Amino acid sequence: MWRLALTVSLLCCSSEGSVSCRDENNGEVDWYILYKTPRIQDKGLTGLDYVYIYPAGQNNVTSQPNKKLINDPNGILANTLHPLFTPPPNFGFISYNDQPPDYMKKSVSSSYGHSKGVVMVQKNRRGVWLLHSTPHFPYKRDKNHFWPESGASNAQTFICVTFNYDQFEHIGKHLQYIRAYPFDHHIPSGFYKELQDAAEKKNPYRTLKTHKKPKVEPDKFQQLVSSGGKKFYSIAKQRSSKVEVGDLYVTISEKVNSDVDVQSWGRQHERDGPFCPTNGEKVQNIESVKTGLGEWDAGDDHSKWCVAVDQNKPWTCIADVNRAKTQYKRPGGALCVKDAEITNIFKSFAVSVEGCSGPRKHGH
């Protein structure tokens, strides 16, 4: 069925435009971040509205509320995912999610990463990496059925970045590092081997000849440059002598050399408290969030993100795992950006934080 759709697209649909992150009007954009509200009826939150963070001119970032709902078949996500619905020439994709669409009836082993996203790319041209936190998404390769019915329940985050083809070798490596579970994919021969291996679920921690873990673990902090020239960084959990994989946000705090405040799923079983070492960077939990669309607590928020506390190190990371002991042995990662305006926007979202010295207002 996929090969038939691809053949039809080569004959009739190549004029649809290049693979790119797209806005609500279907215009190409270099990157964007969405923060979707949860559904809380008594607060007037539908669970389908979102804050849209995007580049506004040179070196400027701004945010605004949505004009179309997130499940709109002509909205921002549907526009971005259009290549999945009508594939262009020389196209490959990986849809990965440890919670695949329910109709697929797939049970995913905990040896795979707690990670969710879509990679779409045209060979030798451009592509998109859309990292998110929404179970069962994208539901189907159909613009009228891409959004899961369950998707409105909790707050979620999405980050989309447009990359040139050469960056997808590194993105493929990242998908292997986090052991992403591809529930739907098509990577043609001739594409980067790293993408093919990710689609085929090959374990990067075992060599093909010896089937043993490598002695030296590769550096999992990779610089990626968007097609518009903005620097992003993919990061995956590092193994340590203390735990097999551990807390992603400890890895992030050590890499950016700052305490970090973290929003992750508030109802997660065995949700962990703040990480407060005597020496070293702290990891603290955000307890409630407020955007221009409303306010909610971490129990209604399935998003995963963190910000550096140090104002001189303005890092923001959109991540894929929770701060929970049940997930510390699972792989996971994040896409990070060093940008003061983005970090200030996310810091403004945090109302209260469970800090190492007790509850506090963010930034105080």
Model confidence at 14, pLDDT cuts 50, 70, 90, reads very low
First-to-last CA distance in the chain? Answer: 56
Radius of gyration of the chain (CA): 19
State pLDDT tens for residues 218-274: 568 999 999 999 999 999 986 544 444 589 999 999 999 999 999 999 887 888 999
CB 120 within 8 A of CB 91: yes
CB 186 within 8 A of CB 92: yes
Q: Is 11's pLDDT higher than 90?
A: no
More confident residue, 363 or 193: 193
Mean pLDDT over residues 61-69, rounded?
Answer: 96
- pTM (two decimals): 0.91
With b for 16 or more beta-carbon neighbours within 10 A and e for fewer, the 122-147 pattern comes to: bbebbbbbbbbbbbbbbbbbebeebb
Would you state the torsion angle of the CA atoms of residues 284, 287, 290, 293, taken in this order, to the nearest 10 degrees? Answer: 120
CA distance 152 to 211: 42
Q: Dihedrals φ, ψ of 48, to 5°?
A: -120, 0
Q: Helix H segments across 240-298?
A: 248-256
Would you state the pLDDT for residue 267? Answer: 85
pLDDT tier at 57 (50, 70, 90 boundaries)? confident
What confidence score (pLDDT) does residue 95 get?
98
Cα-based distances in Å from 180 to 83, 88, 94, 203, 321: 21, 24, 10, 10, 12
Which of the four pLDDT bands, split at 50, 70 and 90, describes residue 206? Answer: low
326-345: pLDDT as tens digits: 889 889 999 999 999 999 99
Mean pLDDT computed over every residue of the chain: 90
Q: What is the pLDDT of residue 204?
A: 74
Q: What is the pLDDT of residue 363?
A: 46
What is d(CA 254, CA 260) in angstroms, rounded to the nearest whole number? Answer: 10
Distances (CA, A) of 74 to 18, 83, 119, 136, 265: 17, 13, 20, 20, 29
Arithmetic mean of pLDDT, 62-71? 97
Side-chain-facing half-sphere of 23: CA atoms under 13 Å: 17
Amino acid letter, 339: D
pLDDT of residue 241: 43
* Proportion of the chain above pLDDT 90, given as a percent: 80
Query: Who's near 217: CB < 8 A, 6+ residues apart?
Result: 238, 239
pLDDT of residue 187: 98
Q: What is the pLDDT of residue 329?
A: 87
Q: Which has the higher per-residue pLDDT, 195 or 362?
A: 195
- Distance CA(224)–CA(18), nearest Å, equals 20
Q: What is the mean pLDDT of residues 13-23?
A: 74
Structure confidence at residue 245 (pLDDT)? 58
Does the structure show a pLDDT above 60 at 24? yes
The two tokens of residue 51 are 């804050």
Res 237: pLDDT: 87
* Residues in Cβ contact with 176 at an 8 Å cutoff, skipping those fewer than 6 apart: 194, 197, 198, 202, 203, 204
User: Could you read off the pLDDT of 286-319 as tens digits, one per residue?
Assistant: 999 999 999 999 999 999 999 999 999 999 999 9
